[in-house]
Amino acid sequence: MVKRIGILTSGGDCAGLNAVIRGVVARASEGLGWEVIGIREGTKGLLSKPPDVLALELPMFTGQVMRQGGTLLGTTNRGNPFAFLMPDGTEKDRSDEIIAAYRTLGRDALIGIGGDGSMAILRRLAIQGDLSLVGIPKTIDNDIGSTEFSVGYATAVDVATEALDMLQPTAASHSRVMILEVMGRDAGHIALAAGLAGGADIILIPEIPYKIANIAAKIERLKKRGRNFALAIVAEAVKREDGESAWVTHRDGETRYGGIGSYLADAITAATGAETRVTVLGHVQRGAAPVAQDRLIAQAFGVAAVDLIRVGKFDRMVAWQNRDIVDVPIAEAIEHYQAVEQDSVQVRTARGLGVCFGDT
């Protein structure tokens, strides 16, 4: 039977989304003869009249698309159907409208590519509208439960590593402490992995509380050993020493992480006299072309998601575990966000290398 499926990308973009879409389209249309349409800008596309959709066919993916960052379908992290931001600033529950519009598309199943927030929203919609949903995890933060990797994480780590590679020579030339602030809304996975790969002396993540005095002592030790520079990497969600989050409230009324790098720079200068500089990496971690690892898991997830639909398994998320793809209940994957574990191989390796987390 020819099935008709829909696909959307939701939440913040990341590298590898186009490769996921390619995986889905190749398996569904080429492999099974199904028809795939993409819904634009997450569920927001379903609020357009008619719904903003795009027929997806394999010839569209033969060229550059899967190598490119971003998502050809567009996305949004401000389109929560249950609290949709209206032009007058009020929030409205538009979930029924979205479900009704989705039904007009006559889809047998929907593939939602998202982070934990999007996955929770899509699941709620699926339950309310009795929709057949399969999830694919993506987020540079790599904090979705039940999967070792989410699409986009490997590329973000690569970008942050490259930034440390570029900061080292200038740090050494000027005898400075260079601080790199990276993304990671609640978890420190990017900072930890890139800090290791990029040879950081100090790695600060929200999971490990720090003291400025310990960071200062590390810098003094490096100095005594003849080092004229230090490299530090900090996740944006790391709090100030007094426990306050580093937030900035913007003109649009949103409060977003920002400023922990500058705070640390001043605190380190005050404690050590060292000259410090800060680089805030921001969205370049999301917009880069996907590295090989992201293209690989993206396409594997895409194929596996279609195969879940083929066997009628819904309310499941594809996941990477122990060198294989498995599927887990979406509810389980989003129950707790995946923080850095204190006894993980990366934390142990960093401690073994003498990296300072600021806790001792």
Site string for ligand F6P, 90-129 (x = CB under 6 A): -------------------------x--------------
| Residue 181 touches ligand F6P, criterion: CB under 6 A | no
* Residue of the chain from 41, 141, 207, 294 that contacts ligand F6P (CB under 6 A): 141
Site string for ligand F6P, 319-348 (x = CB under 6 A): ------------------------------
CB of 83 to ligand F6P, least distance (A): 16
Q: Output 142 or 146, the one with its CB closest to ligand F6P.
A: 142
Print burial letters for 330-354: b (CB count within 10 Å at least 16), e (below 16): beebbeebbbbeeeeebbeebeeee
Whether the CB-CB separation of 321 and 148 falls below 8 Å is answered with: yes
Give SS3 for 251.
coil
- Known catalytic residue at 315: no
Residue 280's identity, in one-letter code, is: V
Q: Which entry of 13, 141, 143, 307 is annotated as an active-site residue? A: 141
| Residue 153 touches ligand F6P, criterion: CB under 6 A | no
Q: Output 246 or 330, the one with its CB closest to ligand F6P.
A: 246
Q: Output 187 or 355, the one with its CB closest to ligand F6P.
A: 187
**Residue 108: Cβ-neighbour burial (10 angstroms; 0-12, 13-18, 19+):** middle
* Residue 212: closest CA among 154, 260, 281: 260
Phi, psi of 181 (to 5 degrees): -95, 125
Distance separating alpha carbons of residues 45 and 191, to the nearest angstrom? 34
Distance separating alpha carbons of residues 116 and 47, to the nearest angstrom? 22
Angle between helices 260-272 and 212-224 (to 10 degrees): 60
| Residue 12 touches ligand F6P, criterion: CB under 6 A | yes
| Residue 206 touches ligand F6P, criterion: CB under 6 A | no
**Does residue 329 have a cis peptide bond before it, meaning omega lies within 30 degrees of 0?**
no
| Residue 185 touches ligand F6P, criterion: CB under 6 A | yes
Q: What are residue 316's DSSP bridge partners?
A: 134, 329
CB of 52 to ligand F6P, least distance (A): 20
Contacts of 173 (CB under 8 A, 6+ apart): none
Q: Output 183 or 238, the one with its CB closest to ligand F6P.
A: 183
| Residue 140 touches ligand F6P, criterion: CB under 6 A | yes
| Residue 257 touches ligand F6P, criterion: CB under 6 A | yes
CB of 254 to ligand F6P, least distance (A): 8
**CA atoms lying within 13 Å on the CB side of residue 229:** 18
Residues taking part in catalysis? 141
Given the rule CB under 6 A, which residues bind ligand F6P? Answer: 12, 77, 115, 139-141, 183-185, 236, 257, 286
